[in-house]
Structure 1
Amino acid sequence: MKKQSTLLLALLFSAGSAFAQSNSADVDQQGDDNSADIEQIGQLNLTNLSQQDGSEAEISQIGEQNEVYLNQSNGSDASISQAGNGNLVRGLVFVNANSMGSSLDVDQSGDSNELQVAQYWGNNSIDASQQNNSYGVIAQYGYGNSAELLQSGSDLHFITQLGSDNFAQARAFAGSNTSTLSQAGSGNHIQLNQSGGFIATMTQAGSDHNARVRQAGGSGSLAVTTQTGASQSIGADQQGSDNTLVVTQTGENNSAGSNWWSNPGVIQDGDSNIGVITQSGSGNEAFLSQVGDGNVGVMNVSGFDHTSVIVQEGDNHNIQFSISGIENTVDIRQFGTSEHTVGFAGDMVSTVKQNGNFNEFYSVQSGDEGGHLITTADGSDYLQNGDNNFMNIMQTGDSNSAFLNQLGDGNSMDVMQDGANNSTTITQNP
């Protein structure tokens, strides 16, 4: 039978409604299936709660600079609500390997609140929400853990999961948000949704990873995602201006584009976008679509079975590429009216290189103003060097240039230029 301890701590002064100051509740429950109900009204309130073995706790604090310290073990659950400014929740949950796990629900409403929670072993979960210049740190160690965090305002949060079958989801809206999510283990899954001015860093080490980030409605945003291991997948989109996206994958069966949230690839929508995708391994697939002004897309892929596509619409486009391996395909498309470029020979990793077997290269450029360019040829750092290569280049507009090079076996090339003052140089050495 569940044993219950109920504490209502409120002190009313005279006939008015002034609240109590510096209330303190210390609860230590030992045994099975205990429950605690704690309500504190006022400022500088403190709750220390210790529970174990399937116990439950509900804690409510109304006021400012209140604190909750929670210590639970073996399948205990807690719900914490704080309303006010400068509040703190600090929790430690330890679960035996054979336990069903613990759950923690935290709701902080107000400004400058802080959350620090660590959960160890078992199927633990945490669901937390914060507002306005708040700080959240969640760490989970063990098996089958899940963490969900909602922040609104200019907030900062860190989520770390070490173990297996982990799930992390963070949503941050309005203001300047900073998110750092880390997972190490297997079967990990991250989802991040930010709106406002934001910075996102996601790191996954292990196997069977998923990472998804969406940033919308801000400027000066940055998303950095790193995956190491096997079977990784990253999906991302950014909306706004001055966005930068960096994706790095090492391992096997990597894919930079995904269909999460009905998004088929990595997309940037806005101004002055820069997208960098680096893949190393086998079975890689990458998609990048940029819509806006001053876009730059860079891909550096090394391994086997690659497919890389960059689509840009807007002005001042710049595509940079380097691929090495077997069965590579590069599909480059640019639309708009400005200075389109595909690659730069000899001056950066962006040199349009293909080195390997079964290579294919496609490019479509449309527009005027400044003229298009597809390089290498005599300045070569080879554009296709290997076996069974194929090129198809189409340029529409005036003052286009294409200097091409194919070195290897079974090369084939189609070039079409439509406009005036165009130039083409082709070198093939079968």
Structure 2
Amino acid sequence: MKRSACFAGVLILVAPLVVTAQENVAEQYQDGTGLQMSVTQLGSGNYSLQRQEGDRYDTAETRQSGTDNQAVSIQTTVGEGRISIDQAGANNQATVVQQWGASGDGSAANGGYVTQEGAGNVTTLTQEGAFSYITSLQQGNNNQHTVRQEGYLVSAQLESYGSGNVITVGALPGSYISSNGAIISQAGDSNGVTVWQGGSAAEITVTQQGNGNAVESYQRSDDEGLSGRARIAQDGSNNQANLDQTGYRSLLESSQVGTSNRLTVQQQSNSTRSTIIANVTGSDNSMDVTQSNLWYRAPNSIDIAQEGNNLIGVVAQVEATGSISLLTQEGAFHNAHIQQTGISNQVELTQSGLANTAALMQQ
């Protein structure tokens, strides 16, 4: 059965709807298979809600231009659903929800796409199932991205251009995710990225350009599953990156270019092996890196290179066997502190410049 609803004197059918007047309201309801919806609103104060309940191969599209627009699209189907929302203006809000249908037998291969241009935009995306994809692009100031994904082989790619942007990606704790990927790119000032991932073999790639950016990420695998792989690149000053990884063969690759940046890493291995690779270029930067083993003594590795002045490097490898710590500092007034506990571990510390200090402890 297919249902359509009309509001404010506007009749909405399966065919595209175009509204040009101000303060328009458009709502659509459909159930079935292979449904198609399309709404186009031009002006300010428009509202659009699209809801599809059915089987699969459903498509919902919304196009809005102006200010104070809101667009909500919801699909509760088995899979292969597509949602696309484009908004241009200020104070827009977009919510995309794709989840299991009433049968509860799963949802797969869904796609939700949101593009917003302006200031004060808010985007919220939710997906459940497998092989689903989320893309959200915002251009302007004070934008927010929020994504919650459950399932496996799910991908999210978010980009923000401007200042004051915030990106949050789920899931943790008790998460049902595996082999998910989040690619996040921000260009501007005072941006923030927060990522929670669980399950197995999750990946994130974060690229930030500007000042005052912050990254906070938690990657934890279930039981013996592969842990996450995190790649972070920050270009600017006063940036912070906090990473917490737990699992099997975790990987962190970090690059910071600028001044007064800070990197903090907690990496716990369930078995073998985990790797931390970090490079810092600039002055007044600091690193605090810790590797530890939960179940077995593993041959983990840390490779850190710092270049500039007034640098601080703190490295700790706990309960390790056959592990190696490499720390290179170039410049003046550096401070290096390396601690290792376990057996058959190795340290390579290199400092070049003036007035540098170093402390090494092996137990």
Residue 320 of structure 1 is aligned with which of 310, 326, 332?
Answer: 326
* Residue pair 1:5, 1:35 contacting (<8 A) in 2 also: no
1:131 equivalent to 2:131? Answer no
Match of 1:43 in 2: 33
The equivalences for 1:201-350 within 5 A come to 201-217=205-221, 218-219=225-226, 221-257=228-264, 266-270=265-269, 271-292=272-293, 293-314=298-319, 315-336=321-342, 338-343=343-348
Deviations 1:295-325 (A, max 9, x none): 1111100112111111111222210010012
Separation (CA, whole Å) in 2 of partners of 1:122 and 1:224: 29
Larger radius of gyration: 1
C-alpha deviation, 1:5, in angstroms: 5.5
Q: Structure 1 length normalisation: TM-score? A: 0.74
Greater RCO, CA 8 A, separation 6+ = 2
Q: How many residues align?
A: 329
Tell me how far apart the structure 2 counterparts of residues 326 and 7 of structure 1 sit (CA, whole Å): 72
Unaligned runs of 5+ in 2: 1-6, 100-106
Query: Aligned-residue CA RMSD in angstroms?
Result: 1.6
Maintained 8 Å contact 1:273/1:295: yes
Counterpart AA for 1:294: P
C-alpha separation in 2, matches of 1:25 and 1:289: 58
Asked if the contact 2:85/2:94 (under 8 Å) is kept, the reply is no
The alpha carbon displacement at 1:56 in A equals 1.4
What is the CA–CA distance in structure 2 between the aligned matches of 1:303 and 1:144, rounded to whole Å? 33
Residues 1:166 and 1:324: Cα distance change in structure 2 (over 3 Å): same
Residue number in structure 1 paired with 2:358: 361
Counterpart among 91, 110, 121 of residue 113 in structure 1 = 110
Matched residue, 1:399: none
Distance (whole Å) between structure 2 residues aligned to residue 7 and residue 295 of structure 1:
64
Q: Write the distance in 2 (CA, Å) between the matches of 1:122 and 1:49.
A: 22
Describe the superposition over 1:219-264 as per-residue Cα deviations: whole angstroms up to 9, x where unpaired: 053110001112111010111001111110001111002xxxxxxx
Shift of 1:330: 0.6
Amino acid at match of 1:72: Q
**How has the CA–CA distance of structure 1 residues 360 and 5 changed in structure 2, closer, same or farther, with 3 Å as cutoff?**
farther
**C-alpha distance in 1, partners of 2:313/2:21?**
59
TM-score of the superposed pair, with normalisation by structure 2: 0.87
Q: List alignment gaps of at least 5 residues for structure 1.
A: 10-23, 258-265, 344-351, 367-430
Q: Which runs of 4+ in 1 moved over 4 A?
A: 5-9
Q: Residue type matched to 1:182 in 2?
A: S
Contact 1:90 1:116 in 2 (8 A): yes
Q: Do 1:153 and 1:176's aligned partners in 2 also have CA atoms closer than 8 Å?
A: no
Query: 1:7: how far off?
Result: 6.6
Shift of the alpha carbon at 1:121?
1.5
Partner of 2:86: 92
- Does 1:161 pair with 2:170? no
